[in-house]
Amino acid sequence: MDAAQPRPMATSAVASMLKDALGSALVALGLAVPILALRTEQNMANELILQPRWGYVGIAVLAAFVGRLLYLTAARAPRLPRPRAGLSTAAAGNAGRIFAVAGLALLLLYPPLALTLAGSAGSIKWIDNFGIQILIYVMLGWGLNIVVGLAGLLDLGYVAFYAVGAYSTALLVHNFGFGFWLCLPIAGIMAAFWGIMLGFPVLRLRGDYLAIVTLAFGEIIRLVLINWVPVTGGYAGISGIPRPTFFGIPFNASDEGFAAVFGLEFTPLYRTIFLFYVILALALLTNWVTLRLRRLPVGRAWEALREDEIACRSLGINTTNTKLTAFAIGAGFGGFAGSFFAARQGFISPESFTFLESALVVAIVVLGGMGSQIGVAIAAIGMIGGTEILRELDWLKRIFGADFEPTHYRMLLFGLAMVLLMIWRPRGLIASRRPSIFLRERRAVRAELVREGHG
């Protein structure tokens, strides 16, 4: 790498940096020319024509040149000795606890806070788009964390269980007239059942192969949802799913509605706030169950399995059953989240359950730091909140012209963020894969040593 080279004289250093940056600019030119320079457009006669846009190529090349130059300058600057990232275990535990309590207090107070700050009309957006949306992903992240973070099984088809939960709710409501609160547990059980069904054949695969098979299962379920029109409605989806009720009291403008019973003026705000607390409770339930399970034998077995499957097997752990429980419990929470999603939207279609959603949840878990509950929550807030904020950036239109639509760049930036975060912190934001149980007596045996044959 450039940074590791011995530093020559200043002038030749500048010259080599300029040369390097020029090389980057040339590469950027090669990358940008076909895709950026000419845009394919259909004209009135429906024929494809090319529109030259060389200005963008110039910007890209300039950006690569300046960016590379800045990077090289930064890499050459003398490095300050960085403080060790990891705090001591006890301090980290304390900090984590304080953070968790503060975060929980903030979450509980979030709707009234939004209400006072943004007013009753403006706060719906904040509670719904930011609060509920982010909490759904926090819950999905925590659910998947059981599978990926604790048991170490990469599941790229988690959205399938989310879909099973959502569609079971929708179908139970339409065919049997069940209410949301009855559907919720059934949806979770259904999803867990599917987790066992799908998990059973695939769990002897490892690593990347397991990831691809789960991806294939996720896609198969989505394709079946699209094509099995008599049951699922195909692309049209299922609409008219009733919203959750407050102990049997619906949130509507009728005389039996929530507002009328409690003598309040009707606004849709109450329902939004109620949904916020429902998903908050579900997410916290997921978290609580995970933390408890980690201390049970099965949780220990998951973590052992993540670290070394062969060692587990030789110690007599039934790896298939252990993996299946992780898969089923993770799937069950995905089902709960799906059920909530269906009830919140009132409408579901296969478009909500694409591979992209799976990738999003996996990204949240891995970027948050596999196995770390708080890391997952932070990653969900950052990734989902960050992309939601792009919807709010209308003022950018004043700079880039009226055609500029910040939301178009949502997934572009999301993909870029995934790559950059992975390079910056490959083990995630909070890399705490410390086992929850360990021998008190310390020995000078670490994984590196064992691998080299010292241990």
Partner 1 sequence: MLPPETFSLAGNWGPAAAMEYLLQQLINGITLGSIYGLIAIGYTMVFGIIGMVNFAHGDVFMLSTFIALIFLMALTQILGIGSLAVALFVVLILGMLLTSLWAWAIERLAYRPLRGSFRLAPLISAIGMSIFLSNLVQVTQGPRNKPVPSILSDVIIIREGANYAVTLSYKQILIAVVTAALLAIFWYVVQKTTLGRAQRACEQDSRMAALLGINVDRTISLTFVMGAALAAVAGMLFMIYYGVVHFNDGFVPGVKAFTAAVLGGIGSLPGAVLGGLLIGLIETLWSAYFSIDYKDVATFSILVVTLIFLPSGLLGRPEVEKV
Which residues form the interface with partner 1 (CB under 8 A)?
27, 30-31, 33-36, 38-42, 46-50, 56, 154, 201-202, 204-209, 211-213, 215-217, 219-220, 223-224, 226-227, 310-311, 355-356, 359, 362-363, 366-367, 370, 408-409, 411-412, 414-419, 422-423, 426-427
- Least gap, CB of 231 to partner 1 (angstroms): 14
Pairing, β 38-42 against β 48-52: antiparallel
Distance CA 110, CA 107 (A): 5
- Least gap, CB of 421 to partner 1 (angstroms): 8
- Least gap, CB of 217 to partner 1 (angstroms): 7
Q: Kindly tell me the sign of the dihedral angle through the C-alpha atoms of 4, 5, 11, 14.
A: negative
Distance CA 205, CA 209 (A): 6
Q: Kindly tell me the sign of the dihedral angle through the C-alpha atoms of 186, 108, 145, 89.
A: negative
- Least gap, CB of 240 to partner 1 (angstroms): 26
Q: Kindly tell me the sign of the dihedral angle through the C-alpha atoms of 172, 174, 176, 182.
A: positive
- Least gap, CB of 390 to partner 1 (angstroms): 12
3-state class of 188 per DSSP?
helix
Which CB sits closer to partner 1, 214 or 373? 214
- Least gap, CB of 394 to partner 1 (angstroms): 18
Which CB sits closer to partner 1, 163 or 366? 366
Distance CA 86, CA 381 (A): 22
Dig out the tokens for 430 from the structure. 């909070």
- CA 21 from chain center: how many Å? 35
Which CB sits closer to partner 1, 11 or 42? 42
Residue 79 Ramachandran class (φ > 0 left, ψ -120 to 50 alpha, else beta): beta
Which CB sits closer to partner 1, 201 or 435? 201
Q: At 9, phi and psi to the nearest 5?
A: -60, 155
Which CB sits closer to partner 1, 132 or 202? 202
118 within 8 A of 126, measured Cβ to Cβ: yes
- Least gap, CB of 263 to partner 1 (angstroms): 50
- Least gap, CB of 158 to partner 1 (angstroms): 13
Q: At 181, phi and psi to the nearest 5?
A: -70, -25
- Least gap, CB of 426 to partner 1 (angstroms): 4
Q: Which amino acid is at 446?
A: R
Which CB sits closer to partner 1, 29 or 115? 29
- Least gap, CB of 39 to partner 1 (angstroms): 6
Distance CA 317, CA 302 (A): 10
Which CB sits closer to partner 1, 18 or 309? 309
Q: How many helices, marked H, and strands, marked E, lie in the chain? A: 19, 4
379 within 8 A of 368, measured Cβ to Cβ: yes
Give the residues across from 48 on adjacent strands: 42
Q: How far is CA 241 from CA 150, 181, 353, 402, in A?
A: 34, 12, 17, 38
Which CB sits closer to partner 1, 33 or 324? 33
Which CB sits closer to partner 1, 14 or 411? 411
- Least gap, CB of 2 to partner 1 (angstroms): 13
- Least gap, CB of 367 to partner 1 (angstroms): 8
Which CB sits closer to partner 1, 99 or 235? 235
Which CB sits closer to partner 1, 35 or 104? 35
Pinpoint the alpha helices (H) of 346-436: 355-368, 373-380, 386-389, 396-400, 410-424
Dig out the tokens for 103 from the structure. 């975060």
Q: Which amino acid is at 167?
A: Y
Residue 318 Ramachandran class (φ > 0 left, ψ -120 to 50 alpha, else beta): beta
114: number of Cβ within 10 Å:
23
Which CB sits closer to partner 1, 41 or 256? 41
